[in-house]
Chain A
């Protein structure tokens, strides 16, 4: 079997970067998508089969832009959507522009991109897509109203997309971790949670927080069909 082609969003840091590294390190090709071009370029520089696209996935038309860039890679073996951000705030302080962008990047973008995948049938046999959600989607974590709403939306997408794409030979999986040690975690709950809240969270991770690469290993196993989602 020759090298397979993937698209990984959120590849500039955290889980997305770790997924991209695993895929590229085993000799597959990947389009790396994120906002920060310098980080993407640094990652891609070590891998000849990497392509980059600096793109804000919350912007209108983002799925079309990614689709155009992906076309150059040939039939896709996989789509991993790690891109996203959190803008924690009490519900009364949520900024509408931030909330719109959260819905757009977490749920609207993968909805439109999976639609392109289904429409153009531009995928390899046995292709898979992994959508990333979070335990936050179903837990009452203070400050996460907008983020949890957006992740709830991607969970809704997962159910329908899996059903519609299965007959086309595309597996859609959902990866919904609890806390992972990433820049996003450090900038959000690790910075703002009270010591009591942090102790509660860490009590659920007696061996320490999973690393981004730990999460990436689970995602790649899902992509390869080695795990049920």
Chain B
């Protein structure tokens, strides 16, 4: 049985929302091919569903990297 890496799990979840095979913590999440406001909304919903945090559109607008999103979700790493 392996140890779950919360950041690895978060990166996987972000990649799924952004419809890319993988993404790194220091990557700009807006740089994905399908980026748009619906994806920003999807990130808000994913963080709410999986991490119980109520993130706003303003929070997403202020974020630059996937690592910023992890902070919003309360994921350490």
Contact = CB atoms under 8 A, between A and B. Distances in A.
Interface residues of A, number: 15
A143 B49 CA distance: 14
Interface string B33-59: 000011011101110010000101100
Contacts of B41: 88, 90, 142-143, 192
A206 to B, nearest CB: 23
Counting chain A CB atoms within 10 Å of each CB, the highest count among B38, B45, B46, B49 belongs to B45
Contact of B45 (A88, A187, A194): A88
A95 B50 CA distance: 11
Nearest to A92: B42
A22 interface: no
Contacts of B45: 88-90, 93, 143, 192
Interface size band for B: 10 to 19
A196 B37 CA distance: 10
Interface string A86-98: 0011100101000
Interface string A77-108: 00000000000111001010000000000000
Contact of B56 (A143, A192, A197): A192
Contacts of A197: 37
B57 A193 contact: yes
